[in-house]
Every structure is written in structure tokens, then in C-alpha cells.
Structure 1
Amino acid sequence: MGEWAHNWLTEQRKLGEKGLEIKTFSKGYYVYRSTTYWDKELKKRRKTSTYLGKLDKDKGLIDSQKTVISNKRVRSLWEYGNSSLLHTAMEDLIAPLQNAFGEIWEEIYALALVRITGHVPLKRAGVVWEKLYPVVDMQPSMTPKNLSKVLKEVGVNRKAQNDIFRELSSKDKHLVYDLSAIFTRSEGINFAEKGYNKEHFYIPQINFALLCTANENLPTMMRILPGSVRDVKSLALSIQEVGVEDKTLILDRGFCSKTSVKILKKQKLTFVIPTRRNSVLYNKPMELNAHFFYHERLIKSGKWEEDETFLYLFEDNELRKEEEYTLYKRYDEKKITEEEFNESLKKAGRILLISNLDMECEDIFLMYKKRDCVEKHYDTYKNLLEADKIYLQDNESLFGHLFISFLSLYGYAKIENYIRGASLTKKYSPRDLIEMFGKVYMMDIDGQMMLTEVPKKIEDLGKKLNIDLFPK
């Protein structure tokens, strides 16, 4: 702060003005009156600030006025529309981050927020943050050196991470769980190990488990695993560490084994798991004696109970046609044997689920299909992880990086939910919205904070998304 601004503030306090605070944005000084109030939910005092106006060296305090549109010369400029969108998507995380991480929560929040916009490494995070209008009253230190320290602090604070995970996982009874991996050549990250992966690469990798809510399509937990650890071990540890009691886990067929089922039952968790295509459970004498319709497709269904475990068999005629076509083609091209062809033909169009839930076939099927809505989160998460992966030199920084990317994924998924709720998924992606809303700016014109004109298309889009982004 300049000496003249400090002297002005000192003089005001001598005159009896209380709670005044000066903040610096783009080399300008802005005056706020700050006070505190008791937050009943958090059970602690929280700070709130009211903007009073800009401080001028010659004119003193220039009172703030109602936001207006103006064509006068722009002296300072911030991206307002996309900033408002991003903060709206991330606002659920503010209170949990404050409680879990204390004084470094602002840096965590700001870094996670800017990375929703795209590939933002640490060296560019401060530049991207400064362009965004400060919708939330905060002043994080966004220098690469400080953010590197924050990554390490976050990485070693497993308790605080778990506090966030528990907060998020408490909102939905149905959770989707799956594993994926990222690759690294960094010698400083000894957590990486060579192991099996879907890409069939046998190079150093870090496995991560991701839990998402099935109904809200939001990520709720991320767990990092050594590259050689397989599904069953990770599942048991994740359940114990975060504590997802009274939940139903919707899993991938890779978890379908007697060991997995035993672990889930021991943890008193309910589950829905698709069986492998070569599972002997398909040999059970099950009849397809019921039916329902899913997205205008006829689904035949049947149910079998044995040892407090239920098998649910479904047949989709449309899927059957597609799989039969593929099987005949592969057989004619001699890519599969006659025995493989005949065995696969019996299961064409069929889906077999195993669960300890006794429910109607249609309800179990709908629960399983919720996996489809969150599958793409895994690919989005991998893209977010690319920001600093090659620069990370130790385990602690890696752990912090993966956690902050998880928070970015949460904000990204929230924007996806706005789009899905407006039935606009075929027209827009979250990145499309960020770019479009970025056309609306906040300007500092002669000491007044003014909003540029909001294009009608963006205003109408905001109404369809049912989010209030712009001041009236």
C-alpha cells in the first residue's frame, strides 16, 4: 500500500471511522467497511465487507454508485461474467475449505477455480486470477513460489482432505466408484510404480480412485494409490479411510469377485456390480419374466436370489442386435473361434448385475445406468491433472496437485449440472460457457465500478441455466 493511502486510512481512524479497510486491485486502491457476524452453521465469527468506493490520491474517497453502463474511457478492466459463473460453481466449497485448511484456504480455492478454465500451470495461475473480478472478498497469494508451498501443505494434510471428502459424500446415498491412472517419469515421485493399466503400458504410474455421487453427478472423494495396487485393496482402504457408511456403491465389473463381495458385506455396504462377460453366474437358470422401457427401448428382466445375494439379468434387444452384428463380423474375419462365437452369442445384449439389495429390477437397472453420467468425469480429471504433472518433483506436491485438481473437477461438474438441467448438453460444454460469459466485463471508470452491457444471448442463457450471475 502506498504511503499516501496509509496516511489517509490513519486519518480516518483518528476521526472515529471504524472497520475501514483498503484493498489493492490492478494498482488501484478500493475502500471497504469490514465487520464480523456470527455464523450459526459454522459456529464461529465470519468477516463480511461492504464496498464504499475508490481511493484517489487527490480527490480522496470517491463514493461507489449504482452499476451502470458507460462508454467512457476504461481505466481498469476485469472479466466479470466468467468470474461470477466460476464462483457460483465453487461456492459450496468455501466453508468446508475454511474449516479444513485454515489460513491457506484462499490459495487452494483460487488455484482450483482458475484451473476450471483450462490448462493453467502454477506460473500462470496468478495472471489468470488477476483477470477475474473479485466476486468473493479474498486476496490469495498467487506467486508460483507460494503456490508450490501450498501444494506441499495440502499434500501432507490428509486429515483436512478427508474432512472435505466426508462433507461432500454425505449428500448422496448412491456413489459410483472406479479406478484410473496417470503416468509419470519423475524420479522424485517414488509413489509411482509400474503396474497394469487399461492402456496396456507397463511404465511408472499413479493410480487414483474416484468416488462420484450417482444422483448429483458430483465428485466426492479422490484417493491416491501406488501404481501396482489393484482394485480390491484400494476399495477396502478407501472405505475405511473416508468412512462412507450407509451408502450404496455402484461399481465397475472389474470389482466383480468373491473377495470384493466379501469385503463389501464385511463393511456393511450395499452394492451393485455388473458381472464379467465370462462369469459363470450367467449359467444360473434365470427367466426373463418381466419387462420395462428405458429411453424407448424394451428391456426384459429377471431376478435370482441365493445366500442373501441377488442376481439381476437384463436383455436389451437393441443392444443385442449391435453385439450380434459385431460378433458375426469378427467370426467371419476369423478373429474369434467358433467356440468363442457361440459362447458370446448366448450373452449378446444381456447385462447381469450382482447386488445385496432386494429391489425391483427396473430400479436396480436405473441405479446401474447412473454410472454412464459420471464416467466422463474420469477423463476430465485426467486432463486437469496435466497442468503441473511434469514439474512435480516429490510425493507431497503430487498429493496436493491431485487434491486441487479434484476440487477443480467439482466446479467443472457443477457447471455441467447447470447445462444438463437446462437440457443444453448437445449445445454447450462448461468451457463454452466460460468463454461466452467472459465477454461481460467489470470496468473501473473514474472511480466507479461499472458493468459492460450483457448481450441478450448471454442474458437469456443465464435464465435457462437458472443461475443469477449479473447485478440488477
Structure 2
Amino acid sequence: MSIPESIKSKRPTQFGAIEIRYIGGHYYAYQVSSRWDAAKGRPQKVTGKSIGKITEADGFIPNANGLRLMQEMRITPDVAPSVKNYGAYELLQQLTPEMDQKIRKYFLGSFREIRTIALLRLVDGISSVRMIQPLFLDSYMSDICGDIAVSEGSVRRFISKLGSEQDTIDAFMKSQVMPGMTLLFDGTSIFTKSADSLAAKGYNPDHSLDPQARLLYVFEKDSHKPVFYRVVQGSIVDKADFMDTVNAAGCRDCIIIADKGFYSKQNVSALLNAGMRYILPLREETVNVETEFYKNTDDNKWDGVFTYNKRAVWYRKRSSRNKGNFIYTFRDDSRRAELVGHYVEQVEKHYGEEEHEPKDVIKEIRMGYFSFCSNLDLEAKEIYLDYKERWDIEQCFDYLKNSVSTTASHAHTDEYFRGWAFLNHVSLLYYYGLLNALRNTKLDEKYSAEDVLKLTKNIYRVDTGDKEGIRISAIQKKTQNVLDILGVNLLRKI
């Protein structure tokens, strides 16, 4: 049974993290914490004892355990300390100290609202604006931005107004795109039930027929930093809006590396005319690689072979005889074996339903092959490694794809959708700051960004209102070690 908002709003804040359970017709409050599960390699939720019950009429009513805890904290039911979620919010802001100035430059009157909602979105995974107010009041952000309006109606109006300022949003993002950058392009579908003009049926990898909008995203190659995005109608394929996105981002003298959905002859010509360099993957059925090449099983057809992550990668480079373009073709034998195995498994599973038999796998001659069109005259391995950088943005992009959809689906107008998209972009910038810090300190070999957010989320800022002043709740030794390596000092603002 879902917990009513009227009960959630009366959840006590002085005990740290609380879980509300519905038992026997009543709502009970339980303390919750987390501990590290070495076997699973991640934090595990631990539910403590009940500290009381909650009613709509009387709010929180502590039981004997709750009263004992309050006595240990030197408080009474009438005088409770202010306990706010603190660690994750302060962590993200310290790792991206430049964000305040950048947001303030373009959104002077609303930078605090943008920063606050973006951080709440990232730390608490908010899927509805109804949750912003209670989570804001439970967070440290309400101490530093206590005067901003966070009621559901106020937040909805703010998001719609923000989405109407697309020129300012574009200017903010374009300031991050520098001449000569190497940029990675990718796209994702955002499914939505709204009736706005952005929602339309279109192609997506899941073959879903639900209305969708498309987000075309641009990342900087070396840092993996998200620098620009463009929202387009769901029925528009990526390659059709590709050059509009390139131009909207203000790309100049850039190297463009895109996914295979962006390739077309028109886009190649447009990039050449714009003086861009590019690496564009070709589709499997491309005519730029002759069929005879696939049929030839002699490895002498290749120019050579190199290793990547202990895997053999064969390569060939050929001039396309078209305005200085080259066609780079590769074969990854490990990938080929994986695809062939998957193909055989599917045929066996549906044997009798399909017209193919397992032995027909030999006809799938292009498995494991992939080709690129580029006007860069480089060693084939360099092209391969440059494109490999595009794959490395997936951790950051997965956050976008997995979390944005749940909120964008509730949009009712184009402006509201665009406003949410920008707030999620700012969340992504904070997320990138954490990812980048983990990579730079090698902590990514042990912890994911989600792990670190979970470890720090339950670090609280406690204001007793007496001579003891403000203090920070206990920090596990392992968590403190992570903070020290990242250079984050949670006592800095105490």
C-alpha cells in the first residue's frame, strides 16, 4: 500500500533516515540505515526498531523507543533538533565548484532554484514534482535556500517558465562548446503520455509504439562532459536533425564522432562543407564495403591486426574516392563469436517457427564486422580508439536514459518538457563531476557514482539549537576514506 502524502509530510526529521510502514491500519515510523555488504559489494539497507506512529490528526507520536532516543539526543518531544540530509549534496557541490558561477551568469534570478531542483533530482531520484517539497525540507538545501518556493504548483510554474527560455538555455550550453573540440553525439528516446507537440510515434531500439520525444546529446570526448543537447519531435530520426544540432551547438573546427544512426550522404556533405572532421559508423548493410570482401574468408584481405583489451581486431583502410573520405573496416573475432552464439541460440529456441536452421548462421557473413566513414587520414587503430571513447560515455548517458524518462513522461506542454530536460542536464553536469573525480582518483575501479551517493546520502547535518551548535552525524571509516581521496571536507561549512 502506498503511503499518503498527508502522512509522509508528518515524518519526523530528528532521527535521520525514516521508513514509514502501514501495519494493521496504522502508520509506523522505523529508523533505517545502511551497512556495507562485502559479499554483494554494495550497501545494504538495515531497518531498525519502530520509533512511533504517525496520524494525520496528531502527526508523529513517539513510542518508548522513540522517547529513549530523544532523551539520548538531549531533546524532548517539544524541542527537536533540525536534522537534514547533507553529505551527498555537499559532496556534489564541492566536486563541481564552478557550477554556481556558470548557472548564475545566465540565470541570475533563478540559479538557486535550478541548482536545488537539479541536486534533489540527482540525489533522491525524484520522479514527481509532488516529492520536491518534502525532500527539500529534509535536505540541507533548505538551510541555504530556505526562501525559494517549492510547493507543487510553484515548481510546475517554474519549470514551464524555464522551458520557455530556450535561447538562454542554448546560450548556457553553447558556452561549453569550444572550437577544436572532439565531440561525441548520441541520442535516446523519452517516452511520454503527454499531448504536447514533441510527443510522436517514432523509431526506438525497444520497438515501443508509445509516443516519444528524442534527445540528441553531445559530449566532449576527452573529459566525457555533457556539453549540449537538443530536444526534437519523436518522429524525427537522428540523422535528419543531426546537422541542426551541430549548428545549434556552435561547433567550429570540431571533430564529430557519432553513432550509426546519424550517418547519411547528406550529413557527410554538410560536415565537409562546414569544414568539420568526422568519424561516422556505417550501417551493416552499407554499400561502401563490397560484398565480396565479406565473403572472402582469407585473413590476407586485411591490412593488419592489433589487440585491444587482449582481443584481436583486424583492420582495413580504403579511400572511398569521394572528397577525401576513407572507409575503415574492422573485425572483432571475440564479438563475432558472441554474435554467432546469440544467433544460433535464437534459431534453436524458435526452431520450427523460423525458416532458418542453426547451420544457416554461416550466411550471416557480416557478423563482427563494423565500418566507419571518415575524412581523417589516420592509422586504423587511431580511428578505432577514437570511436571507443564514444562507448566510454555510456555510464554518464545511462544515467540520463534511465532517470530522465520517469519525470519527462509527466510533462504536459512543450515548455514543461524542455524545462525538465534542462534541469536534468544540470543534474547530469553534477553527476559528471562525481564520475570525473572517481576516474581521476582511480576510485572508479572500486566504486560507482551511485555507490558514493548512497554512502554519503545518510550523512546528516544536525542543528541542536543550543550551545553545541551544528554538527555532522557519524561517518563510517570507509566513507571517510572515500571523501579524503576525493578531497571533500564535509566539515568545511560547519
Q: Please, what TM-score do these two structures have when normalized by structure 1?
A: 0.77
Match of 1:111 among 117, 122, 125: 117
SS at match of 2:109: helix
Match of 1:384 among 399, 403, 406: 403
SS at match of 1:103: coil
Cα-to-partner distance string for 1:226-285 (whole Å, 9 max, x where unaligned)? 121122221121122221112212111122221221122222221111211111222186
The 1-side partners of 2:473 and 2:345 are apart by 59
Letter in 1 for 2:100: I
SS at match of 1:415: helix
Shift of the alpha carbon at 1:337? 7.7
Judge conservation of contact 1:384–1:409 (CA < 8 Å) in 2.
no
- Aligned 1:433-444 pairs, distance under 5 A: 433-444=452-463
Letter in 2 for 1:150: F
Q: 1:210 to 1:196 in 2, by over 3 A?
A: same
- Aligned 1:23-422 pairs, distance under 5 A: 75-120=81-126, 121-134=128-141, 138-139=145-146, 140-170=148-178, 173-187=181-195, 189-283=196-290, 287-305=301-319, 306-307=321-322, 308-328=324-344, 333=351, 336=356, 341-345=361-365, 347-422=366-441
The 2-side partners of 1:171 and 1:376 are apart by 26
Shift of the alpha carbon at 1:426? 6.1
Letter in 2 for 1:440: I
Paired positions, count: 402
Q: 1:457 to 1:338 in 2, by over 3 A?
A: closer
The 2-side partners of 1:165 and 1:336 are apart by 50
SS at match of 2:223: coil
SS at match of 1:393: coil
Judge conservation of contact 2:89–2:123 (CA < 8 Å) in 1.
no
Cα-to-partner distance string for 1:300-334 (whole Å, 9 max, x where unaligned)? 32211233001112222322332343455566755
SS at match of 1:280: coil
- 191-200 or 366-375: bigger deviation: 191-200
SS at match of 2:98: helix
Letter in 2 for 1:302: R
Identity of paired residues, percent? 22
The 2-side partners of 1:269 and 1:87 are apart by 36
Shift of the alpha carbon at 1:141? 2.8
Shift of the alpha carbon at 1:387? 4.8
Cα-to-partner distance string for 1:140-184 (whole Å, 9 max, x where unaligned)? 332222222221221111111112211233398222112221222
Letter in 2 for 1:83: Y
The residue that corresponds to 2:471 in the other structure is: 450
The 2-side partners of 1:283 and 1:390 are apart by 44
The 1-side partners of 2:358 and 2:410 are apart by 51
SS at match of 1:351: strand
Cα-to-partner distance string for 1:121-158 (whole Å, 9 max, x where unaligned)? 22222322333335995443322222222212211111
The 2-side partners of 1:181 and 1:227 are apart by 7
SS at match of 2:170: helix
User: Which ranges of structure 1 fall in alignment gaps of 5 or more residues?
Assistant: 1-25, 27-69
Provide the aligned C-alpha RMSD in A. Answer: 3.0
Cα-to-partner distance string for 1:323-349 (whole Å, 9 max, x where unaligned)? 34345556675564899844532x333
Cα-to-partner distance string for 1:390-435 (whole Å, 9 max, x where unaligned)? 5422211111011111211222232223333444446433232222
Letter in 2 for 1:290: G
